[in-house]
Amino acid sequence: GKFLSIMSKDVAASSLSVVAGTLDIYALVLKDMLPTPAKCHYTFNMRDVSKVFQGVCQCSRESLPKVEDLVKCWFHENERVFRDRLTTKQ
């Protein structure tokens, strides 16, 4: 895709790990963070996964020069999409 073509080779090579990691987190959230009457906002779907990728794809080559920067951005996007919706610290 266009996003990967503008990134450094190291960052582009990490894309499969980012996808796999995002899907792993999504599967864990679906399994462990079930909605209840008090936590009805614990409803997650594939739109949430796409929000993670959209956030990462907003970055430029300059903002993600190294794989470590990609990991930081990916972590931030996962927290923004999934963690921010949680109401307890457990």
In angstroms, the CA 90 to CA 74 distance is 22
- What rounded mean pLDDT belongs to the chain? 91
Q: Is residue 25 within a helix (H) or strand (E), and if so which, with residue range?
A: helix 15-32
48-76 tens-digit pLDDT: 999 999 999 999 999 999 999 999 999 99
> What is the token pair recorded at 84?
């921010």
Mean pLDDT within 16-36: 93
C-alpha–C-alpha distance, residues 90 and 85, integer Å = 13
pTM, two decimals, is 0.87
What b/e readout covers 32-45, taking b as 16+ CB neighbours within 10 angstroms? eeeeeeeeeebebe
CA–CA distance, 89 with 81 (Å, rounded to integer): 16
